[in-house]
Structure 1
Amino acid sequence: MTKHLIVLSEDNLSFPDPESALNDPDGLLAIGGDLSVARLQNAYQQAIFPWFSEGEPILWWSPKKRAVIMPEEVHISKSMAKFIRQTDLTLSINHAFNDVIHACSMPRKTQAETWISSDIINAYHQLHLQGKAHSVEVWHDDKLVGGLYGVNVGGVFCGESMFHEHSNASKLAFIGLCQHFKRYGGVVIDCQMITAHLASLGVKEALRGDFIRQLTQYQSCNISAQCWERQKLVLSK
């Protein structure tokens, strides 16, 4: 069956079935629409996320394979466990969302540009103000040296991006998220697409259909609002 790219209208928040996404490029589902809070929430509830470069139209994706982890399965290597015991880095939640997303938007050494455009930053800032998007920060004294941000959908946390300016800082943020989210009843963390960095932390690939079933099952979980209150995080050692 031939698959076609769907063009979204700005006055209709609905998305096509993720299983109708293109095979090449993998997961491209739709184009257009907007980045309103309502549309973004609708997208994440259906395993869909935006990903496009500055100057491009909005592109919506749901790839055939999804990088996911149950938070209790996060892998902490012996060297990382030693680092956690000895480090003077500290962690927090929702102390500096805007700073984290701006840091994540900086191009990596191997990149000429970033997909986290000003439109994305503004859109996720609005999600954060609505209590839907959250950040984990890593600090060295008063300097932000690492962190991550993402969107919470009930018992699922959909990670968007992470950064580090200090060795192991992004790993520390991810481990902190896993432990904290599990403590409040979180069930699944979505990392979108697998990387060697994520795989080293225990993240595995799942088929899109399996992830959608998890998302459908767990997005109605009632995660206490206390989970996302501004607070310091203490890692289990």
Structure 2
Amino acid sequence: MGFFSPMIRLNQNEISFPNPQHYDGHEGIIAYGGDLSMERIWFAYENGIFPWFNPGEEILWWCPDPRFVIFPEDLKISKSMRKILNNNLFTFTENKDFAAVIKNCQEVSRKGQDGTWISKELIESFTKLHHYGLAKSIEVWQNNELVGGFYGLQIGKVFCGESMFAKVSNASKAGFIHFVETHKKELALIDCQSHTEHLESLGATMIPKREFLKILQENNERR
């Protein structure tokens, strides 16, 4: 069983984290500090940890319990969304414009949110990860205009979603459904990190942290 302890400050010169299997941190926060280098971010995600913090504040590293995820076979598609997809209101691409997707995720305003956690340093590191084929983007187009999308990291057979945006109604939902339906045979799980009604409506659910970490480890091809 895990235990609650004071938050651990990371050494900026050493890429390491407390083991989230045995350390519960404080309200899901595993550690703080460190940096946002490509190497640290990749190591964090391989261990079920992700950064999330307010601009100008310390970097916070999270591994919440429970974890919000979606199993591909549990994807829910409403009749209205199926109609939108069947009417081909949108077209979809992958990795066609990663830079535009992550920039829109940074800039597009969201209800109930002031500002963004997507800093210049995060963009630089995720862009490097994209160049190595580790981060991917899904673009949603309408009349040749980018109207939605999302990006994340592919850890073996687990896709770790980072952020999504939509400039027109249902664009990000349509992109997410397309992505899951296209890749469901090669995906064991999609990590949604924290609860949103948007993703819950598509079939996302809470599972214990230990179950999430077990699935992540079993489906990481590098392990």
Relative to the length of structure 1, the TM-score reads 0.88
Q: In structure 2, what is the Cα distance between the partners aligned to 1:33 and 1:89? A: 40
Q: Number of matched residues?
A: 219
RMSD: 1.6
Q: In structure 1, what is the Cα distance between the partners aligned to 2:4 and 2:138? A: 42
Partner of residue 166, structure 1: 168
Q: Which moved more, 1:101-110 or 1:43-52?
A: 101-110
**Cα-to-partner distance string for 1:116-137 (whole Å, 9 max, x where unaligned):** 1112111111111111110000
Q: Which moved more, 1:138-147 or 1:118-127?
A: 118-127
Q: In structure 1, what is the Cα distance between the partners aligned to 2:210 and 2:112? A: 32
Partner of residue 117, structure 2: 115
Please say if residues 25 and 31 of structure 2, whose CA atoms lie closer than 8 Å, have aligned partners that are also in contact. Answer: no
CA-CA distance at 1:21 after TM superposition? 3.1
CA-CA distance at 1:78 after TM superposition? 1.0
- Report the CA distance shift for 1:2/1:191 in structure 2 as closer, same or farther (over 3 A): closer
Partner of residue 17, structure 1: 19
CA-CA distance at 1:221 after TM superposition? 7.8
User: Equivalences for 1:40-119 in 2 at 5 Å?
Assistant: 40-106=41-107, 107-119=109-121
- Report the CA distance shift for 1:94/1:4 in structure 2 as closer, same or farther (over 3 A): same
Relative to the length of structure 2, the TM-score reads 0.93
| Identical-pair percentage | 44
Given residue 56 of structure 1, which amino acid in structure 2 is its aligned partner?
A: E
Unmatched tracts of structure 2, length 5 or more: none
Please say if residues 72 and 179 of structure 1, whose CA atoms lie closer than 8 Å, have aligned partners that are also in contact. Answer: no
Q: In structure 2, what is the Cα distance between the partners aligned to 1:2 and 1:200? A: 32
Is 1:142 the counterpart of 2:138 in the alignment? Answer: no
The SS at the match of 1:219 is coil
Q: In structure 2, what is the Cα distance between the partners aligned to 1:53 and 1:159? A: 19
Unmatched tracts of structure 1, length 5 or more: 223-237
CA-CA distance at 1:210 after TM superposition? 0.6
Q: In structure 2, what is the Cα distance between the partners aligned to 1:162 and 1:122? A: 17
User: Equivalences for 1:175-190 in 2 at 5 Å?
Assistant: 175-183=177-185, 185-190=186-191
Q: In structure 1, what is the Cα distance between the partners aligned to 2:33 and 2:14? A: 11
